[in-house]
Structure 1
Amino acid sequence: MSGTRRARQSSPTTTAIASSPWLVVLIGVLVMVVLLVVALGAYRGRGSDGGPRPDPAPPMLLPDLSPSSVRPGVPTPTAAIRPGLSPRATVLPTTAAAVPSASAAPSGAGGAGTPSVRPVAPAPEPPPVTGRYRVMETFDGGFIAEVLISNGASTDRGWTAALAFPGGRLVTAWVEGQPQGTWSAADGGFTYRSGADVPPGGTAPLRFHIERADTRPASCTVDGFACR
């Protein structure tokens, strides 16, 4: 055995692999399939951001707020806030009762609007000097009448009376029992201006004789106010 070397013996597995190359290819394909399955499982277990997907959140339960479930004196339960959920999704909004505006008025054919308050105009003050007309005596062709002047002011007042008798003629005019004034006639009527002031609460009887006219004058005023 000197000078010679013993040939190395090959193992049976090596000999089988060397004699069957398709077996190596089959083992490689199986390994690639196993790696692909593992990779797909790992991809499905991750989220869109690359991190692990969280467990699905349990369904949120809202409290029952129906009138039949609310009892006087018993507080209404509220839904618990879970981590990761928005607090706004667990709180029911409350609707405030609409308060009608005092200034709002309903409109429409069937609605009655709120009546608007209007200020009441003050009553006009009575004139300081007034006159009352009356017929004292009638006769053929004419009559005698009177305008009683009354002073309702707190001071002495003069006055002016104006009467109209269409188609008539003034014969004369005077103030009974007092200083006389002045008068002027025109178109069947006349104007008389007092000769003396009337004291507060006093009167002055203006009398006159009219011919060919109706006993009721067309107009009668004292200081611009109609006679009574």
Structure 2
Amino acid sequence: MSGMRRAPRLSHGPAAIVSSPWIVVGAGVLVMVVLLFMALGAYRGRSPAPDGAPVPPVVPLPTGVGGSSAPGPASSSPPPVRPGLSGRASGLPPSTPPGSRSPSVGASAGATGGTPMVPRSPSGAPQGQPAMSGRYRVVQSFDGGFIGEVAMVNRSAVSRGWTVRLEFSGGRLVTTWVEGVPQGTLRQSGDGFTYVSGVDVRPGGAVSLRFHLERTSSTPRVCTVDGVRCSGF
């Protein structure tokens, strides 16, 4: 009959799968289920080691140099500290009876080979040295005269003044002065002069007296500081 239409026939093969998406979804679900069962079977196959199975030995780690596992010598602990006997405790040693005096500084220095203390004089200077020492020198020479100097050092432990006495063979004293400090008092007598300081010199301090002389030798007959002979001539 020409008026009737034929129903489309279902295609087979890839075209049928593409046209039916539920087939693809079902296949994926089936694959996932199979994989899940396989994973469960593999997990159940891992059973723990049966009782009595040998346990692998534990290898100890090296504890010494060069891989030696021998233990080192145990460190000895310090002795317990007894109260009242610290290393810095002061007082008399155990061998010294109470009430006895400790040895003098000079005796201990001699026993240990150290340098003994030098006793000082009442003025504070070491014994055998003057409290105020002086040194004579010629600062400048010229035709007909020269400029001399007496340099002094206070070696005592207290501030002190000084007195210089100078004598020459003739000549004429032009002037005297002290470097850097207030001037003192000049007294001329005979062939020389005496100069008394105006201010004291502090312990360890120094001061210089200078003078201008004409028509005489530059070497004095007398040069003293506080009655002690000067050095340098």
Q: TM-score, normalised by structure 2?
A: 0.44
- Please identify the structure whose Cα radius of gyration is greater: 1
